[in-house]
Amino acid sequence: MINTMLTLFMAVTGGADWQDLMEPLANFSRVYVIGFVLYVTFLVFGLLNILTAMFVNSGANIAKVNSDLAVHEKMSHDKDVFRQLRRALLEANIDISGTISRNEFESKMQDPVFLTQLAVAGLNASEVLGLLPLLDIQDRGEVDVEELVYGLMHLKGNGKTVDLALMMYVNRRILAKVLMLERHVTENLAILIEERVDEDVDAEM
């Protein structure tokens, strides 16, 4: 029995040529030959393919798990970077106003620890300085720390991503200026209309 099982195992694993193993069976009956051929066919094209599919599926699942872990690690890393930048910028806010001026930020840029944090976050010092006036939509000379940190996080990435982020902030600044101009024109127009109405009323009287 053990020899028979070993022979069948060798037939499907390449341990022996299954055609050589089939010849003795042909001397007994063609039925044995057909049964042997069906056995080899089932194992080679059926069971082994199923096992292969299982390994492939297992590999795909492992790859998905690794991908999910990578995404989780990336999100965790970004949160750590956000907290570190926020803490550093709040420390740079000397007057504890929750906003940071260009002078305060430039002073913070002298801190090698802060420069290292920027480098770890994938940020360029010159790009960061260029972001400040774009975020200062109302030209107050200072920027909200929270807004600055969010802006810095948008600057992370390759050159194309940085360019898109800067363009977005430029567009926001232009839009804010247009809205301010529109409000100013509307207010002045309302005053002119009111004055004209008063003049007409006085003329009629």
Together in a domain, 65 and 147: no
Task: In whole angstroms, give the CA distance from residue 117 to residue 112.
Answer: 9
| Of residues 145, 148, 138, 147, the one with CA closest to residue 179 | 138
Q: Does some domain include residue 82?
A: no
What is the bridge-based pairing of β-strands 99-101 and 142-144? antiparallel
| pLDDT (0 to 100) of residue 156 | 64
| pLDDT (0 to 100) of residue 205 | 59
- Cross-strand partners of 143: 100
Q: Does some domain include residue 162?
A: yes
Helices of type H across the chain: 2-13, 18-28, 30-41, 48-92, 102-108, 112-120, 125-135, 145-155, 159-204
In this predicted model, what pLDDT tens digit does every residue of 75-87 receive, in sequence order?
Answer: 777 777 778 777 7
Together in a domain, 62 and 139: no
Together in a domain, 98 and 189: yes
Q: Does some domain include residue 87?
A: no
Together in a domain, 98 and 134: yes
Task: In whole angstroms, give the CA distance from residue 200 to residue 194.
Answer: 10
Q: Is the model more confident about 39 or about 8? A: 39
| Of residues 152, 144, 157, the one with CA closest to residue 169 | 152
Give the count of domains, the chain.
2
Together in a domain, 177 and 133: yes
Q: How many CB atoms lie within 10 A of CB 161?
A: 13
Together in a domain, 122 and 173: yes
In this predicted model, what pLDDT tens digit does every residue of 152-203 receive, in sequence order?
Answer: 777 665 554 556 666 666 677 677 777 777 777 787 777 777 766 566 555 6
Structural domain including 30 reads 1-69
| pLDDT (0 to 100) of residue 157 | 56
Mean per-residue pLDDT, 48-65? 75
Q: Does some domain include residue 75?
A: no
